[in-house]
Amino acid sequence: MKNKSHIKKKFALVCSFLFLICSQALAGQKIHTVFFEGEENELHVYRINGTKPGKTLLIIGGIQGDEPGGFLAADFYADFMLEKGNLIVVPRANFPSILKKGRKINQDMNRKFLDDNISNYEARVVNVLKKLICESDSFLNLHEGSGIYSDKWENKNKNPNRFGQSIITDDSILKRGDLGEDIYLEEMAQKVIEKINQHIENKDLFFHFNNHKTNHPDSIHKEQLRSATYYAYHICKIPAFGIESAKFLPLEQKVRQHIYAINAFMEILDIIPQTPGIDLEKPEMQYMIISVNDSIPVVVEKMQRLKINKGDTIQIHNIVANYERGLSVDVIGLGNQFNDMKKKLIINESTRIEAKKDFYKCGSVFLDIDSKSVRQLTVTDSSDTPTLRYKLRINGQLKIVNNYEHVKIHRGDKLVIEDILAGSVDPSKYIVNFKGFVGNHQNNSGEDRGYVIDTAKGVLMERYSLNKKGRHYYVLTTLRGKKVGKIFIDIQPYAS
């Protein structure tokens, strides 16, 4: 027995020694891990280790893609250097929903952390996030909430059912049992709220503590039982907080509020940073690196045109822009739903490649099918002609239409306004609006490119047709609010 006890002690000593060596080796390092690399839901995780040991704070942004204040704030911390403590930063937990500027794709990712057996990409991401949560000492989930939270009813936009301008917990105290001392979540949140409110002049926009009492019988927020913060609170037994800036505020203000909150929590946890500045400059692509038929890649600058042959295979290897993270490309009319980066695509028609930083369009290049056989790749500057041409698909068939032209289709046809083929102005700058059709009822921006308009399903509103009888419609193109073009859609009776 003595011998076994001695062996156990030696084993424990060796493990402690190895842990110390590993900890020292990681001190001051930044580790970037990519999960599901090359897939649409690629997940980037940044670990920043301080030169001195300390607690670990997990920061997650973009779990719901229509909340840019959170993921843009988280983005700053991926570049941090720390003197003490550690950060795990996941700026864009749900990149596909960010690209679509929507809350979800298949399911709300923040409702999949408990009692969910549906298999999809959200589930795979959540499994990674669960492990990261339980590796951490504390967790912040960055959000934007509707209205302004108030513990009493004031009006429809300021009441207990609203989330904006609040720090949310699942209870006021985290009881840890055998794991250690209880943690007073409300006390931590109130200290942070005091720090944030020092930077807010308008008292109506002050942050407040929002206790969801998630597990209480009388909770009005039972949906939070499946959230990331409740998983952290209930399963991992670590302090977890939802930071909710109000959706209606200017973007820079929302980002700053999240940063004030993160910095205050880092101070409480004694995580000492070397803080970078805040820079919210406009995203701008400089160039793309593209190969054709696996040849040596060429550099195609913003608004330039690459001439290729019909049937060539292209691959976009990289984008160079004034931001490093959150970049994607969309080969208009081809590829997948979210991100065509590094995908091999066969090009049979002239088209455009649009670059995005998150959901912000930041530049385009053109792919031109040459009528003559191209012997070598040619990159040219975009034409200066102001004439607009439209790329449509009618029942899947390509049709190129000139500005102010009439397009005849039959009732029951499916129409897609795929793109604008334009000159010196980036086509992403235009708004192309089919009058009488709404592509996205949740976010009706007036931009109708890319949606399938099924003329048999009653999706067109007759009152917007030119004759008020649902026969003649028009597509209006504007640039910076000014009308620059129009095409007419003439719907004939059902084809016999």
- Which pLDDT does position 460 carry in this prediction? 92
More confident residue, 258 or 467: 258
**Cβ contact 249:196 at 8 Å:** no
Whether the per-residue pLDDT at 359 is higher than 70: the answer is yes
Mean pLDDT of 80-105: 94
- Which pLDDT does position 14 carry in this prediction? 44
pLDDT in tens, 268-292: 999 998 755 556 788 999 999 999 9
- Which pLDDT does position 385 carry in this prediction? 52
* Window from 18-32, 67-81, 315-329, 401-415 with minimum mean pLDDT: 18-32
Whether the per-residue pLDDT at 259 is higher than 70: the answer is yes
pLDDT in tens, 5-21: 554 455 444 444 444 44
- Which pLDDT does position 423 carry in this prediction? 66
The pTM score is 0.75
> What is the residue type of 252?
E
Domains of the chain are 2-274 (3.40.630.10), 289-382 (no CATH), 386-496 (2.60.40)
Q: How confident is the model at residue 456 (pLDDT cuts 50, 70, 90)?
A: confident
- Which pLDDT does position 12 carry in this prediction? 47
Burial 23-47 (b: 16+ CB within 10 A, else e): eeeeeeebeeeebeeeebbbbbbbb
Among 245, 258, 246, which residue's Cα sits nearest to residue 72?
258
Q: How confident is the model at residue 379 (pLDDT cuts 50, 70, 90)?
A: confident
320-to-38, 366, 468 alpha-carbon distances in Å: 18, 16, 48
Mean pLDDT score of the chain, rounded to an integer? 89
- Which pLDDT does position 19 carry in this prediction? 43
Whether the per-residue pLDDT at 382 is higher than 80: the answer is no
- Which pLDDT does position 233 carry in this prediction? 97
- Which pLDDT does position 24 carry in this prediction? 52
Q: How confident is the model at residue 493 (pLDDT cuts 50, 70, 90)?
A: confident
Greatest extent of the chain over all pairs of C-alpha atoms, in Å? 97
Mean pLDDT of 137-159: 96
pLDDT in tens, 361-375: 899 999 988 777 766
- Which pLDDT does position 384 carry in this prediction? 52
Q: How far apart are the first and last CA of the chain?
A: 93
* Window from 36-50, 135-149, 159-173 with minimum mean pLDDT: 36-50
Whether the per-residue pLDDT at 115 is higher than 50: the answer is yes
Give one DSSP letter per residue of 218-270, joined into a string: T-S-GGGGGSHHHHIIIII---EEEEEEETTS-HHHHHHHHHHHHHHHHHHTT
Report long-range pairs for 100-106 (Cβ below 8 Å, ≥24 apart).
Answer: 100/65, 100/338, 100/359, 101/65, 101/66, 101/359, 101/443, 102/65, 102/66, 102/442, 102/443, 103/64, 103/65, 103/66, 104/64, 104/65
- Which pLDDT does position 61 carry in this prediction? 97
Dig out the tokens for 231 from the structure.
């998983």
Q: How confident is the model at residue 335 (pLDDT cuts 50, 70, 90)?
A: low
Mean pLDDT of 279-307: 90
pLDDT in tens, 197-251: 999 999 999 999 999 999 999 999 999 999 999 999 999 999 999 999 999 999 9
Mean pLDDT of 56-85: 95
- Which pLDDT does position 16 carry in this prediction? 46
Mean pLDDT of 121-137: 97
Mean pLDDT of 324-341: 85
Whether the per-residue pLDDT at 42 is higher than 80: the answer is yes
Give one DSSP letter per residue of 99-112, joined into a string: HTTSS-SSS-GGG-
| Separation of CA 422 from chain center | 28
